[in-house]
Every structure is written in C-alpha cells, then in structure tokens.
Amino acid sequence: MAPRPKRFAGLDLLGSAIVILARNGTVAFLNTAAAQAFDSSWSLIGHPFRQLFTNPAVIDHLLALCDREDFSEQGQDIQLERVNREALVFHCLAVAVDASDGGGLLLEFHATGERQRLDREERLLDSARANRELVRNLAHEIKNPLGGIRGAAQLLELELTTPALREYTQVIIKEADRLRALVDRLLAPDNRPRSFESVSIHEVCERVRSILLAEYPSGLVIVRDYDPSLPEVLGDRGQLIQALLNLSRNAAEALDGRGRIQLRTRVSRQVVIDRTRHRLALELHVVDNGPGIPEALRDRVFYPLVSGREGGSGLGLPLAQTYIERHGGTIECESRPGLTDFRILLPLP
C-alpha cells in the first residue's frame, strides 16, 4: 500500500470528501471523509479511482479536464454507480493541482442529497413522535374499559349454565386479553427504566444473528461485515438487541425466510442527528435483497399500526425507532426492489 502524503494531512479535518488524482487517474490521496463516502480505505492510494464504479466514464471525463490549458476549476453534479450498491449523487468540484505537486486533479465531493435527507428525517421524526403520542393517549383511554369488559364477562360466565353460552364469554375474555397485551406493548417503551452500560455492537449483532438463524434454519443467509475498530457504545443492551431484532426480523419476513441479510457496521463522521452534529457516530446497516417496501408505505413505515404484511401489528419498526431515539440516535430507510437498507445511527463518545 502506498504511503499517504503527509502534506495533505490537513484535509482529514474537512467534512467533505477529498480525492486527489494523479494525471494517470490513480489515487494520490484521499481523506478520511472520502474513505467513508466510497466505503474504501487508504489502500486505494496508487490504484485507479475509476475501478470503484460501473460508470467510470464520469471519472475519465473529469480527468480529461487536466489536459485543458485554460482549466483551473469546475463544478458539476455527477452520479457514481456501484455494483449491488446504491448510486452516489454528488456535487463535484474539480480543481487543478499545481504542477509542482506533480499535476493532476483535486476532487471535492458534496452529497447533494444530504440536505434533503436531513429535512426528510426531521419531518419523519416530528410526525412519528406526534403519532406515537396520539397512540399512547388512545391506549390509556382503551386500557381502563378493557378491564371492565373482561370483569363483566367473567361475572356473566359464572351465571351461565350452558357450555355453549360460556364459549361466547370466553371469546370476550380472550379478545380483551389480546387487546390488553397490544395496549401494554404500545405503552411499554417509555415505562422501562434507563440502564446504560458499555455495549459491544458486534455482540448485539451476533445475538440477533443467532436468534434469526434459529427461527429460519434453512434458506436464510446472514452476512457479517463488521468494522473491528468500532468502540463500544453506551446503551441498554436489551433495548439495542430488541431494536436490531425488530429490523432484522422484518427483513426476514419480507424474504419469507429465504434470502440474504447483511449486517454491516462502520464509523460515520460529522453526522447530524435530530438537528445536532456529532463528530463520530456508529453506523449499523441491515440490508436485505427482498422485494422492497411498497412505495405507498415508505414514508410511513415508522408510524404505529402501519404494516405492509397481513397479520402484522405495525409495532416492530416504531418500537425499534423509539429504542434508538432513547439512545440519541435515529433509523433511516432506503428501499427499492431488490435492496432495502435500514441504517441505525448512534452517537459515539
């Protein structure tokens, strides 16, 4: 692996992705933000930058700017496509590198979708919180009458002598119990005490992986792609396991237990969560190759009681979002046919 040029080390302090290319198209330098943006590493230095993408003509076009005598800098919107990965859309500023540094091109990438993503995240968080509060208030109002209905059915059953009639009271009692359990689940998250400790996110992933493989012993493949350098997070181990299990089980159900799920961990830098910028954050992806979330549901998947599956309660994803929010994080979702990616972001100390 070629060494990183020390004279460019200051570029690591920038939040934007910086890649410096030699005139032949090989990478002379990339900063930390670029390594993260392109899911690569510094081992890319000395290798052609174009090899990362399935549409390398975009990079070739930028390199052609080096041959123009009147060129100094140029900005344009570009899309970089990758194998089995979501395309990256950037505003790219290309600047000529001084001949004393060997010539070439400095590329600065700004994600054009970042502002839209943050706006969408804020809208979804505000709307989801309002919906959860509405549901919680409604659950409180339902809980007390359910107790009265169940008690009345039990008293009525004592007065009945015909077994056939008692079957009807049993239906009332069982349905009241089912609704009571549903109400308890709606009220549970905020009632549980907070108990934060140092937690290895990879131990959480392994626990969830073992549970899913026990539930789906054949046909389901769970691929691990972990960053071993990740530090531990402060959190409630049980809630983190439950949040990740809800997301992963949702993916497994979408696959009908036959398909591929990837658990991927990374460090993310300069992340904005709920209007607050964090220097470092844990990034945990749950990616499946299923049919994708129906377009009509994509903006509502974290709303309570919204489910795209027959018989689903619509509580798994809202509860996962609630648990992650209690850790100062958030969950994002990108979906299309053949690829659904739930991304958990948790601030790191």
pLDDT for res 42: 73
In this predicted structure, the answer to whether residue 102 has a pLDDT above a threshold of 60 is: no
Alpha carbon distance 125, 331 (integer Å): 10
What's the whole-model pTM score?
Answer: 0.56
Query: Do 239 and 197 touch, CB atoms closer than 8 A?
Result: no
> What is d(CA 251, CA 342) in angstroms, rounded to the nearest whole number?
9
Q: Tens digit of pLDDT for each residue in 242-283?
A: 899 999 998 998 898 889 999 999 988 877 777 777 888 999
Question: Cα–Cα distance between 67 and 58 in angstroms, integer?
Answer: 16
Q: Given this model, what pLDDT does residue 83 score?
A: 80
**Single-letter amino acid, residue 211:** I
Bridge partners (DSSP) of residue 223 are 262
Residue type, position 56, single letter: P
pLDDT of 199 higher than 60: yes
Rounding to the nearest 10 degrees, give the CA dihedral for residues 120, 123, 128, 134.
-160
Nearest CA among 273, 285, 321, 272 for reference residue 301: 321
Separation CA 206–CA 176 (nearest Å)? 37
d(CA 134, CA 51): 51
User: What is the C-alpha to C-alpha distance for residues 56 and 60, in angstroms, rounded to an integer?
Assistant: 6
H-type alpha helices, the chain: 32-37, 57-64, 113-159, 163-191, 201-215, 237-254, 316-325
Locus of tokens 């992705």: 17
Q: Identify the three-state secondary structure at position 90.
A: strand
**CA 91 to mean position of chain CA atoms:** 23
Query: Hey, what long-range contacts does 4-12 have (CB within 8 A, 24 or more apart)?
Result: 4/29, 4/42, 4/45, 5/29
Local confidence band at 299 (pLDDT 50, 70, 90 cut-offs): low
Place of tokens 């570029």: 11
CA-closest candidate to residue 237, choices 211, 267, 203: 203
Would you say 80 and 87 are in contact if contact means Cβ atoms under 8 Å apart? yes
Tens of pLDDT, residue by residue over 41-97, are 777 888 899 888 998 898 888 888 877 777 777 888 888 888 877 778 888 888 887
Whole-number pLDDT of residue 244: 93
CB neighbour class for 276 (10 Å; exposed up to 12, middle 13-18, buried from 19): exposed
Q: Which residues fall within 8 angstroms of residue 194, CB to CB, at 6 or more apart? A: 236, 326
Residue 265 tokens read as 């961990």
Q: Is the separation of the CB atoms in 140 and 180 below 8 Å?
A: no
Q: What's the length of the chain?
A: 349
pLDDT of residue 190: 52
